[in-house]
Structure 1
């Protein structure tokens, strides 16, 4: 699917999430870990560690992270993955699938985007060492996190994987299709 359909599916998921949780969840404010997600007025200066409301916020600018990721790995990154991580600034988003609960990984700020890049490179290098097809993770199972969900970089299909092992099974033909099957869950307040 095109990245527009992934973007639209993620928009629909966020809208459903906000309908099930009209009051924004609370995050612990960290002045050293700023994000557009914090729902505070520009004139407000919350105290460190204060609970402040937050919401996923659309990213306004394009990032070079995925171009740099492609160059580092010498491979084109699937556009669905780029659309998924480039649409919103957000903390992970809880959801329920027909297989159980999961957490959709997201990025909080530019530094978090760089941390994601490092993790994706590490994952890709591990797969190369194992001579396995390239996948990129976008979610993990809850509450244990023993499994993760990924996109096959060549085909765009959604897979269920366990670290260090071959994919267990296909979950959907595309990330957009998979996102549309998810039931958003309430985001807990951070304490």
Structure 2
């Protein structure tokens, strides 16, 4: 079984809240428009004795992909394709990538401190999108030292949504338990 993940990467430098406010004040064109690329990651589906080995392998692979030119190449290829074939051609190309992947991942860095909207404090931030044709889309958002996972599933591809949710929770609990045991210096069975 071939499974691939499409990981969307922001190519803009990470600005702080103050820096963005200053740029808006100065009417800077730096923050106009989207600037993102993607990388394709092969997914390994296996039962591993120590769940942290899977995490370490994934981290090594993602670090290597982040430092490669793959995401920048996909961004510039999309820009070139847009110039040559227009919006319709670019839209057809943009649809092909998600149809060839099993899983889409994105992460958003949120504010470090709690914020409020119209005087009401926000408990969590959960970004998502609809109409993406992959089997599973996972958004991870950090906000005030909390992580929120938003999972969107194509019901035609994943028939049992409850089982998928349970599997996600079980996997995270196995990883958490293995990390806790590793802190104590004991071997995971």
Q: TM-score, normalised by structure 1?
A: 0.24
More relative contact order, 1 or 2 (CA 8 Å, 6+ apart)? 1
Larger-Rg structure: 2
Higher helix share goes to which structure?
2
